[in-house]
Amino acid sequence: MVEAAGVRVGWADLPASVRLAVEEILGSPVVEAVSQPGGFSPGSADRVVTADGRRAFAKAVGGSLNPQSPVLHRREIAFGAALPPVGSVPTLLGSWDDGDWVALVLADVDGRHPHLPWRRAELEAVREALEVVADIPLTDGLAQLPETGAGFAEDFAGWHRLRADPSPALDPWAARHLDRLTAAADRGEAALAGDQLVHGDVRADNLLVRPDGSVVVVDWPWATRGAGWFDRLALLVNVGLNDPHAPLEDLRAAWLPEVAADDVDAVLAGLGAYFVDVARRPDPPGLPTVRAFQRAQGEVVLRWLGLRWGAAPLGFRA
């Protein structure tokens, strides 16, 4: 099992100006900060407690750690401010941006990440939360969200890049089915058309299970407008990542009965194109573990497509 975990800085490592900004948002000095596991941002991610007893979640990152990470935090600020106060999404308390370092402060969620391998009750609770998310009206600040398919168009073109620049590590099954994979992925953008809210990065480390079993979907920089079922399909990829024997087809049939088989194939082929292609690139600055995680997700998607198409892949060669 490959964990979704990178290398973080802690609260004490942040510039004093960032810590002060978070404390000003909270209205009291931070007296305790506990770094949280999971995720790939090289920035901080801390549950904090203030001198007056207030609890919150604070995360911050600067361009020196990774030039793309502040961009993602700014997106999350914009989208987070627009999310309505429903139980399945976090509440943004405030933010700070000095042009380099960007910080978000959110209401603390009394919860933990799901158990892995996945347990059926928690899996169903996440499915229910994702259905709530998909039904959030796209009004006010959410009205101008970009389209899901357009956001994935470049990623889903990965099979074309592998054709132009073949990889000796490409799974033999994928190499034999490259024409079909490419054609399917080319339909992925259209398959994701829709008018529902899409989180776009659903996996265990972006989910919190409360003591009552309900679920909060966190980390929102990739929010888009499209086919709400995409998040449930992405969740099943995470299920397969953490349990190679998980009944993905049974779960898909139960969760996505309204989605055409060709659309499922198109999006899975598109995700495979992205994961397999991007995993062969050098590690991004400050993210030394992300390529292994992407590679593992690519293996899950290819294995799943192989089962759907009648011949499971053997796995990547070393």
The per-residue pLDDT for range 234-263, each reduced to its tens digit, is: 999 999 999 999 999 999 999 999 999 999
Domain 11-107: give its CATH code. 3.30.200.20
The architecture in CATH of the region 120-309 reads Alpha-Beta Complex (3.90)
DSSP state of 55: E
Q: Is the pLDDT of residue 318 over 60?
A: no
Q: Within the chain, which residue ranges are assigned CATH 3.90.1200.10?
A: 120-309
Looking at the chain, which residues constitute the CATH 3.30.200.20 domain(s)? 11-107
Judged against a pLDDT cut of 90, whether residue 25 lies above it is answered with yes
Statement: residue 42 has pLDDT above 90: no
Residue 133 tokens, joined: 């998310």
Q: What percentage of the chain reaches a pLDDT higher than 70?
A: 96
Mean pLDDT of the region 293-309: 95
The model's pTM is 0.93
The yes-or-no verdict on residue 38 having pLDDT over 90 is no
Residues 6+ apart with CB under 8 A from 100: 62, 63, 64, 70
Give all strands (DSSP E) within the chain, no chain letters: 30-35, 44-50, 55-61, 92-97, 102-107, 196-198, 207-209, 215-217, 224-226
Q: What is the pLDDT of residues 135-164, one digit of tens each?
A: 999 998 899 999 999 999 999 999 999 999
Q: Residues with Cβ < 8 Å from 10, sequence gap 6 or more? A: 33, 35, 44, 46
